[in-house]
Amino acid sequence: MAMVDSAKIAAAKDRLDQHTVETIHWHFSPETGSPFWLEKAKTFNFDPLKEVKSFEDLKKFPHFEDDWLRGGPISRWVPKGLAGKPVYVFETGGTTGLPKSRMVIEDHWIDYEEFSKTLDDKWFPPGSNWLMLGPSGPRRLRLAIEHLAQYRGGICFCIDLDPRWVVKLLKQGRIKEAEDYKNHCIDQVLTILKGGHDIKCAFMTPKLLEALALKLIDNGSSIAEEGITGIFGGGTEFSPQWYRYCCEELLGPDVFMTPTYGNTLMGLACSKPFDPADNYKITYHAPQPRAAIEVVDFKDYNKVVDYGQTGRVKLYTMTKELFVPGFMERDEGERELPCDKFPWDGISGTRPFHEIAKSTTVGVY
């Protein structure tokens, strides 16, 4: 493995520290901060404005609680410095009970414009039309992919897909109906592809990508023959074995796929550029400095594990719209070294956190 220039790593750390301080001053200043954080700060035994001087100082905060994002009013999250701007609300989870919600103004646009810079124009040609084969409804992803397509000069074609219905069917053991619903989604895609819209790029979850590829093969066609050259995928099923199977058996040499790891709170973590020497291992790097992830000890969430060791994913989100210090994700994986393209820590082998994995129903992802 090639060593990453230590100056690059140091520069990225300095940038993260500086961005952390700027974020704190925005969210905890009475003129610009959100009602939620200005109120919550009264319960702290430290002053964020005076005592947070680096990223490491974020450990002074209590862990961010899931329930803070459940219920309303959603307006308590809108920073005063952004008052009056149009607000979106996006949900995550919510199969049972109140879903978690976050307010967004432009973060989903900014995140995907940044992600756009990582896409190779050879496989994702500017001006191309896109297919969005993922969830619709109160989800950030639909609007984000649509913006990505428009930002790159194309038009996005979407399907109707309710992931909560799929999870309900699976939890009730109604496997046949879940399969029918998946086929309903794939039928929508086939209809779009027949329309002559010259679609070259796509977002797909692993399960739906596989279902589409196999359906096209059954029909005597393939994803490549339909004209698609670039796919970016997101979901929980990206194992090295599936990645190899997908590249070699489902897509072939004329279609490029880049895996991503993302969610409504973080945005999008890109994968380290594909290297055959990695044996299809997928390593993700958060979109620093707007978000950062640590792989932490299962028994001490303030302790980062050694490289190559397994831990739980701890997320920090730091944008002008949202500040999340230390949210414990429902995922685990292995801590990975910085790479040249992303000179900060990464994570590989992402999978559901083992303590809750048995109770997690993945659905369409």
Q: Which residue has the higher pLDDT, 176 or 267?
A: 176
Euclidean distance between CA atoms 43 and 210, whole angstroms: 49
Amino acid at 112: Y
For the sheet with 267-271, list strands across it: 156-158, 129-133, 199-204, 230-234, 256-263, 267-271, 283-285, 346-352, 323-336, 310-318, 291-296
Report angle CA 107, 69, 261 to the nearest 5 degrees: 50
The pLDDT value given to residue 212: 95
The pLDDT value given to residue 16: 98
Find the mean pLDDT for residues 193-206.
93
Euclidean distance between CA atoms 105 and 77, whole angstroms: 11
Number of helices (H), then strands (E), belonging to the chain: the values are 9, 13
Q: Which residue has the higher pLDDT, 191 or 361?
A: 191
The pLDDT value given to residue 278: 77
Q: How confident is the model at residue 4 (pLDDT cuts 50, 70, 90)?
A: confident
Is residue 276 classed exposed, middle or buried when 0-12, 13-18 and 19+ CB atoms within 10 A define those classes?
Answer: exposed
Work out whether the CA dihedral 343, 348, 354, 356 comes out positive or negative.
Answer: positive
Domains, in order of start, for the chain: 86-357 (3.40.50.12780)
Q: How confident is the model at residue 3 (pLDDT cuts 50, 70, 90)?
A: confident
Work out whether the CA dihedral 79, 114, 9, 351 comes out positive or negative.
Answer: positive
Is the pLDDT reported for residue 270 higher than 90? no
DSSP letter for 246, please: I
DSSP letter for 227, please: T
Amino acid at 235: G
pLDDT tens per residue, range 315-330? 999 999 999 999 998 8
Beta partners for 174?
Answer: none
pLDDT tens per residue, range 117-128? 999 999 999 999
pLDDT tens per residue, range 18-30? 999 999 999 999 9
Find the mean pLDDT for residues 185-192.
95
Q: How confident is the model at residue 264 (pLDDT cuts 50, 70, 90)?
A: confident
Is the pLDDT reported for residue 360 higher than 80? no
The pLDDT value given to residue 13: 97
Is residue 262 classed exposed, middle or buried when 0-12, 13-18 and 19+ CB atoms within 10 A define those classes?
Answer: buried
Which residues in 202-213 are b (16+ Cβ under 10 Å) and which e? bbbbbbbbbbbb
pLDDT tens per residue, range 31-81? 999 999 999 999 999 999 999 999 999 999 998 998 899 888 999 999 999
In whole angstroms, what separates CA 47 from the centre of its chain? Answer: 31
Euclidean distance between CA atoms 246 and 209, whole angstroms: 9
Is the pLDDT reported for residue 163 higher than 80? yes
Is the pLDDT reported for residue 233 higher than 90? no
